[in-house]
Homo-oligomer: A and B are copies of this chain.
Amino acid sequence: MARIAYVNGEYVPLDEAKISILDRGFIFADSIYEVTAVIDGGLIDSDLHMARLERSLGEIGMPMPVPASEIVAIERVLMEKNGLTNGMIYLQVTRGAVERDFPFPARDTPQSLVMFTVEKDLANDPVAETGIRVKSVPDLRWARRDIKSTALLAQVLAKQAARAEGCGEAWMLEGDTVTEGGSSTAYIVTADKRLITRPLSQKVLPGCTRAALLALIAEGGATLEERPFTLDEAKQASEAFITGAGALVMPVVGIDDVTLGDGKPGPVTRRLRTLYIEQARRQAAEQAGG
């Protein structure tokens, strides 16, 4: 069965899903995206993704193309049309297709809204059993990493450099400190079991999975220190992991040429992954019952 995508009001086979070469998403990266996990037929952390989408758009002077409820309705249709119960939904909103000119076009220019699905059993990803290694690279990105724009070339280069050395993610460095992963939030667990991740600012993306996990950690009575950590500190950690819509909670077992602990996913990370997947399944059950 051909995968069905959504392009500006139409449901079309993915291989026929096209946008104008004048689209500002193509020509200027003048667009915002979101990736939402689907687990057991549930849209995971959907409210967080819709809120972040609206915030990112607002930061670059764009409204929501349609209300969040309508976006979620389209996601549901895509899930049904594609028989998707486990995977991801990608969505991208652009400032529309119009004669090429850097400043914003007329306010009545129709925005573009594009979505497609990816099938993947995220909760049973075999990679989580062994964990990934990460490679440190300089953070070359622009000053507004809090905006989830499609101007992702720096991240492409960072993640390619990581892949080239057999690593599953890049950790980007500003000076000595880790900002975040190429497409994920970075965490370490110290020898005395303190959990550390960088605080939110314009230097990092406000992760939706991060927000959901922090709520779970707080519920469990544990604490997380929000502060920058250095690459050296990370290499001395007993555990490390990343979070993201596709990664969920993914163990990191090595950084550059250093192996963490015994080179296997650590107990804190495994526990957090389990907790996160359990609450995702509760979300799915609530959505099915609702």
Contacting residues of chain A (130-163) with chain B, CB-CB under 8 angstroms: 138, 140-144, 147, 149-157, 159-160, 162-163
Partner of A140, one of B24, B144, B163: B144
Partner of A102, one of B25, B61, B182: B182
Question: In the complex this chain forms, how many copies of it are found?
Answer: 2
Q: How far is the CB of A21 from chain B (nearest CB, A)?
A: 5
Q: Which residue of B lies closest to A140 (CB)?
A: B143
Hey, what's the 0/1 contact readout for A88-111 against B, CB within 8 Å counting as 1? 001010000001101110000000
Give the secondary structure class of A's interface. mixed
CA distance A138 to B138 in the complex (A): 22
A238 interfacial by beta-carbon distance below 8 Å: no
Q: How far is the CB of A193 from chain B (nearest CB, A)?
A: 32
Chain B residues closer than 8 Å to A104, beta-carbon distance: 156, 160, 163
CA distance A171 to B61 in the complex (A): 20
Spell out A's residues near B (CB within 8 Å): 5, 7, 14-15, 17-30, 33, 60-61, 90, 92, 99-100, 102-104, 114, 116, 118, 138, 140-144, 147, 149-157, 159-160, 162-164, 182-183
Of all A-B residue pairs in the complex, the 6 with the closest CB atoms, nearest first, are A18-B18, A151-B151, A29-B29, A102-B159, A103-B163, A140-B143
